Chain A
Amino acid sequence: MQGFSASWRLYGRTDRTARGVFGVLAVLLPLLAWSAVSYLPFVWHPQVLITDPGGEDYLESGMRMNRADFSRAVGEMRTKNLPVPQGVATNPVYLPSPGEVLTAFGRAFTSSAPTGAEHSITQAFGHSIQIIFWGFVISSLIGVPLGVLCGALPAVARLVEPSVDFFRYLPAPAFGALAVAILGIYDAPKIAIIVIGTLFQQILVIANTTRKLDFALIEASRTLGAKGLKLLFRVVIPGILPDLYRDQRILLGWAWTYLIVAELIGTSSGITWFITQQARYQHFDNVYAAMVLIGIVGLGTDMVLGLLARRLFTWKRESDG
């Protein structure tokens, strides 16, 4: 009980039960709100789904219209003594119910047959993950070593950081046309956009993390005879590793934000292409299913990486108190 009241105090100390309950509520409350809006007609339902057009010839069953327009149509038919159109209150097409999204989500994994468009969600998403993966790996292969060197070697910092700062302010989409011209229309320019979007931030963020290493540790290791590469690999890198790991987690999130741009250049592909196609056909249940999938995979990856960090860097967690 104490944990709950403490949770509402500034910098209060919570306990395990309170954290667990809040964690479950964090998922349940938005879902409940969504369900309420979807299943309780009196909450919102601003439109009417036509089930029987009656005498009005511009109406078709399956059509949605605003309540006001519908009641006007009903009124008109009444005065003309024609069959009155029938309909049920509903939400706009862009807000499917949780059930519909869940069905679409299930369909994505159960049916191997294409759903409407050429690709299934899973296929499209698999392609997106490949792009992210290679983009992030290539960016990290350059950005991590360069960032550490910038942080540890003043000369490298002076040489590299001005141009990195320059490129950082150019929006990655600005490179789209250039990337296609140089790298063709398939996956290469898409990976390049992810790299461009991530790399420059990565160099600066990691350089900063490297600079923040407690200088007393460097001095202590120097008086013990460490210098050069030994200093770098035995002190600097192990010392910054937990923070470096945290930076990489944040940067992976950055990489995701560039996915949309990357997938729209050249031949559009992946989950972005899937979402735009499905939206065009007004299959909003599929759109939401795709978004849920991205969210779950993103959150899941981050949680796994977070748990791994707690395992790997016990010393950091505990010495920080």
Chain B
Amino acid sequence: MTEHCLPDYRVLPPDVAERMAQIRQRECVMEIDHVGKVFAQKRNKTVALEDIEFGVHRREFVCVVGPSGCGKSTLIRILAGLEDATTGRILVDGKPVNGPGPDRGMVFQKYTLFPWLDVCRNVMFGIEMGGTDRVEARRQAMQWLQLVGLEQFATSFPHQLSGGMQQRVAIARALAARPRVLLMDESFSALDAQTRLKMQNYLMEIWRKIDITIVFITHDLDEAIYLADRILVLKPRPGRVEEVIEVPLSRPRRAAQMASDEFLATKAHLEALIRSFGDTTEETNEGGEDFDIPLLTLVTDKAE
């Protein structure tokens, strides 16, 4: 490898800078107001999140990254209302939220389609919960399925679909309830690499077509840089916002951009940042730096 000088990740190309300025002018759809979370078990208390302060603008795509166990899932579950914050609050369109609601859709890492409903009825679920009658709900559900390209699977059942297709239906189901914000917790991490890239492109395509704000959790740095307008880096123990990065890549994004200098610079910075948290994780504390792996082959049996 030739030593190649990467640009500063903080320098935005003019089109990206303009776009970020536009985004900053839009109102905040979701505000995270000094949120902290403490898990109190019998004896020990885990401070999962501490004083998180962040605003997500309308139609913005925000990714949250951080080493495992830093509180990403806890944060998004608080945003969804599935978990209560110990301190602070979440505001959607300026109003504090209390518990889960249809204004914040969520796509989980696990496949959570209702296995007893066919694909169309799954997508209809959220629409019907909003009080729409069944005929209208079916019509809308078919439109959403068209958007994710699965209208010919309307009468299939979830177990008949591949993982990627199930997650596409899950996205359609979440969007069909017309949320203000779509929350995604490592939604593509169970998929194989090719499917994941396809899903990322699908997601950005959908996001371009409709008025939706996305908060996307991932531990995959490539995924975060490829998708996000801004990346929120969480530091573990306790979970705090370490840095907010504006991604210096223009839109629409293409897979080819993953080889660009801006991409590599951002990735190098994120990697360094996350490596700098590294020594605080349990694994290195317990195991020490060098592993002592016993030799299980014959000494004479040389593989390399």
Residues on A facing B (Cβ under 8 Å):
214, 216-217, 219-226, 230, 234-235, 238-239, 241, 313-316, 318-319
Contact = CB atoms under 8 A, between A and B. Distances in A.
Nearest to B104: A223
Given A224-B177, A225-B126, A319-B158, 12 more contacts: A220-B108, A220-B114, A223-B100, A223-B101, A224-B105, A225-B101, A235-B114, A238-B116, A239-B114, A239-B116, A318-B159, A318-B160
B112 A315 contact: no
B124 to A, nearest CB: 10
Nearest to B178: A225
A238 B99 CA distance: 24
B125 A224 contact: yes
A261 to B, nearest CB: 38
Interface in B173-204: 173-174, 177, 183
B149 interface: no
B255 interface: no
Interface string B142-158: 00000000000000011
A225 B130 contact: yes
B125 A221 contact: yes
B125 A234 contact: yes
Contacts of B160: 318
A316 B80 CA distance: 29
Interface residues of B, number: 29
23 contacts: A216-B108, A216-B110, A216-B112, A219-B100, A221-B125, A222-B82, A222-B99, A222-B100, A223-B80, A223-B81, A223-B101, A224-B125, A224-B129, A224-B173, A224-B174, A224-B177, A225-B126, A234-B125, A315-B157, A316-B115, A318-B159, A319-B115, A319-B158
B195 to A, nearest CB: 20
B116 A241 contact: yes
A221 B102 CA distance: 9
B228 interface: no
A304 to B, nearest CB: 22
Contacts of A319: 115, 157-159
A239 B81 CA distance: 23
Contacts of A241: 116
B129 A225 contact: yes
Contacts of B112: 214, 216-217, 219-220
A210 to B, nearest CB: 15
A223 B125 contact: no
B106 interface: yes
B157 to A, nearest CB: 5
Nearest to B103: A225
Contacts of A313: 116
Given A315-B159, A319-B158, A223 B82 contact: yes
